[in-house]
Amino acid sequence: MTASSGHSSTQAVITGAGQLPLVPLARNSGMALDLDWVARVQANTSAIERRAATIAARRSVKKAHQAAWLLKAISCIDLTTLSGDDTEHRVARLCAKARRPLDPTLERALGLRGLTTGAVCVYHEMIPAALRALEGTTIPVAAVSTGFPAGLSPLPLRIAEIEQSVAAGASEIDIVISRRHVLGGDWQALYDEMRAFRAACGKAHVKAILATGELGSLRNVARASLVCMMAGADFIKTSTGKESVNATLPVSLVMIRAIRDFHARTGFHVGYKPAGGISKAKDALTYLALIKEELGNRWLAPDLFRFGASSLLNDIERQLEHHVTGNYSASYRHATS
């Protein structure tokens, strides 16, 4: 890797989600619950683990390609704060980082400007703060909802929470499913719940958090993924970040294969969001490679792929500085979120 390899005379404009020159996709309107399909789904854990374990060894991106891929990863980050001690100022700081995720000198050296993260993800109470801080941008505000993270508050309240968040201006809603419906094999209940959430979202896009670390098996992950997509999820998402096991490559493989199957059957593109535990640039590259291999290039864009992450961005910044300068970087050199 050389110091000059990142310099470029052409300046391209890359902007946040919603402004990429991509053909807008028809939104997933869902389909009737197909229990036969759900029952047929298999997921062989050891085979899935083998595939997941070799993806990083099979695909490698270097130099300018690595830099471009890391920039892509930034554009797909849902920059997130989901803490009980969140304040308006804390959210403002996060939003400032979402607007300008990279140091301007790095941006210039890499030959682009206007890069933003994919979205900002907060609790309902922080939606107004986020909207204010993101004013003048197209960066969407995502709100976690439905009694996040456990999802065990009364159903009418969970639906009302969605409606209030949408009314408050959130354009993306990250809902949590009732894990008990999966663990009990009550696919109809899961479908009905997801349908109700989707309806409550209206125009806002809905991401279904499966809390995969609590579903017990990869087969359950595959089946829950399918049912949520049948019920109209725009995205399926691994985790709240609050489970003891969050996003993993094997879980991701199962979910994106479900997305591929659903697309083959219905033509709808459903997005994928791994969340929790992805904090290294190298991991982000592996995830992008996995998506490229299993779903294809169309999914490598923020309208279909997001990282739910908070500390990933800083590691990416350090790697990009290394790419530009040839020297290894330090965390403190990059603005915090």
Partner 1 sequence: MTVSEIFDTMEYGAAPESTAEAQAWLDRHPDGFGHFIGGRFTAPQDLFDSKNPATGARLARVSGGSAADIQAAVQAARKAQPAWERRGGHGRAKVLYALARLLQKHSRLFAVLETLDNGKPIREARDIDIPLAQRHFYYHAGMAQLMDSELPDQRALGVCGQIIPWNFPLLMLAWKIAPALAMGNTVVLKPAEYTPLTALLFAQICREAGVPKGVVNIVTGAGDTGQHLVAAPVDKIAFTGSTAVGRAIRQATAGTGKALTLELGGKSPYIVFDDADLDSAVEGLVDAIWFNQGQVCCAGSRLLVHEPVAKDFHARLRARMDKLRVGDPLDKNTDVGAIVDPVQLASITAKLAANTAGTTHVSAAPLPQGGCFYPPTLIENLNPADPLMQEEIFGPVLVSTTFRTPAEAVQLANNTRYGLAATVWSENINLALDIAPKLAAGIVWVNATNLMDAAAGFGGVRESGFGREGGWDGLRAYTKDRAPQRALKPTPLPAPQTDAPVIAGGIDRTCKLYIGGKQTRPDGGHSAPVFAKAGGLLGHVPVAGRKDVRAAVEAASAASGWARSTGHLRAQILYYLAENMEQRRDTLARNLDAMRGGKTGAREVDASIRRLFTYAAWADKFEGRVHGVPLRGIAIGLKEPVGIIGAICPDEAPLLGLVSCMAPAVAMGNRIVLAASQSHPLIVADLIQLLETSDIPAGVVNILTGPHEDLANTMSGHMEIDAIWSFGSSPALPRIVEHGAASNIKRSWVNHGLARNWEGPMGEGRAFLNAATETKTVWVPYGE
User: Contact residues for partner 1 (CB under 8 A)?
Assistant: 6, 8, 10-12, 14, 42-51, 54, 57-65, 67-69, 71-72, 110-112, 217-219, 257, 288-289, 292-293, 297, 300
Alpha-carbon span 129 to 280, nearest angstrom: 28
For residues 88 and 175, what is the distance between their CA atoms, to the nearest angstrom?
Answer: 22
Cβ distance to partner 1 smaller for residue 46 or 244: 46
Q: Cβ of residue 301: shortest distance to partner 1, in angstroms?
A: 9
Report residue 163: phi and psi, to 5°.
-60, -40
Catalytic residue positions, numbered: 174, 237, 273
110 or 127: CB nearest partner 1:
110
Single-letter amino acid code for the residue at 104? P
Contact status, residue 227 vs residue 201, Cβ threshold 8 Å: no
Q: How far is the CB of 221 from partner 1 (least distance, A)?
A: 12
As measured in angstroms, the least distance from the Cβ of 159 to partner 1 is: 34
Q: What is the DSSP string of 31-69?
A: ----HHHHHH----HHHHHHHHHHHHHH----HHHHHHH
| Euclidean distance between CA atoms 73 and 3, whole angstroms | 21
Q: What minimum distance in Å lies between the beta carbon of 79 and partner 1?
A: 19
DSSP SS3 for 233:
coil
CA distance 97 to 102: 8
Structure tokens of 213?
Answer: 């670390």
